[in-house]
Amino acid sequence: MGSDLRVYPDLEALSRAAAESLVELAAAAAAQTGCFSIALAGGQTPRRLYQLLATDYRGRTPWPGVEVFWGDERYVPHDDPRSDYQMARETLLAAVPLPRENIHPMPTDAADPEEAAQAYERVLRAHFPSRPWPRFDLVLLGLGAEGHTASLFPGSPALVEERRWVVAAEVPVAPPRRLTLTLPAINHARHIYFLVAGAGKREALAQALAETPDVARCPAAGVRPVDGELVWWVDEAARGGPGATSEGTM
Ligand code: 6PG
């Protein structure tokens, strides 16, 4: 399906455009299979998208068929303000009619994150049975200023993982203990959406879009869907200011 770079004036515009596209994907998937599996991103950028899904787009999303997973998680209690689950709960999950059993947070209560990673992989394998890789309908991702995505950071051994779907990782930003999907687990998704806003992401975005990706240096460059669609939803500040290229296939 290829990759697509879509540039918008600001975070509000890119969030609205991404919400519009997301609810269309959800409706199509739910109509076709009765289910729409989404892996949420953490951090701050997706907050506005989640708020829009909980308000303006609430009535257009087939919530009973939506299965919510996470692409990564900080290894802190779910009620910790740094938790990605907590951010999604307060901006989206608490406001929509999602059955409780459709929400699959990454566990962070085991003493050993490695144990939690294996437990989450079992959850995913139960949802995507008899598959070599998970087949999310949509994976949402953010981009760190130094090129990380999910909790895949530059130089991480997780970047060369070719068998496991979920791993524990130590990262150079607080909180350091993380759980994350691996690149193959991300790359087998039907659709992958990056949400990127702000001038601080400009260099990382340029690296991630480079023709010859340096994944060790910029893990986001390793997000290359096997047979799905990749869309970059970015604002002008991240792309390089007003007049930056708008919609176009890379
Ligand atoms: C996390 C995210 C992480 C995030 C980037 C960008 O748990 O923090 O999964 O990968 O997407 O760090 O974060 P911002 O959107 O806050 O810039």
Q: Which fold has domain 3-249?
A: Rossmann fold (3.40.50)
What pLDDT does 213 receive?
Answer: 87
pLDDT digits (tens, 9 = 90+) for 157-183: 999 999 999 999 999 999 999 999 999
Q: Is 113 touching ligand 1 by the criterion CB < 6 Å?
A: no
Whether the predicted model's global pTM rises above the 0.85 cut? yes
Locate the ligand 1 atom nearest the alpha carbon of residue 44 and give its number: 16
The share of the chain scoring above pLDDT 90, in percent, equals 94
Q: Is the pLDDT of residue 245 over 80?
A: no
What pLDDT does 6 receive?
Answer: 98
For residue 214, the CA-to-ligand 1 centroid distance in Å is 20
Average pLDDT value over all residues in the chain:
95
Taking CA atoms, 66 is separated from 57, 100, 148, 168, in Å, by 14, 11, 27, 26
Q: Is 45 touching ligand 1 by the criterion CB < 6 Å?
A: yes
pLDDT digits (tens, 9 = 90+) for 126-162: 999 999 999 999 999 999 999 999 999 999 999 999 9
Axis-axis angle for helices 47-54, 84-91 (nearest 10): 40
Q: Domain segments of the chain: what residues?
A: 3-249
**Atom 11 (ligand 1): residue with closest C-alpha?**
142
Mean per-residue pLDDT, 85-108: 98
Residue of 14, 15, 40, 44 to test ligand 1 pocket, by largest number of atoms within 8 Å of CB: 44
What pLDDT does 3 receive?
Answer: 81
pLDDT digits (tens, 9 = 90+) for 216-244: 999 999 999 999 999 999 999 999 966 55
Contacts of 100 (CB under 8 A, 6+ apart): none
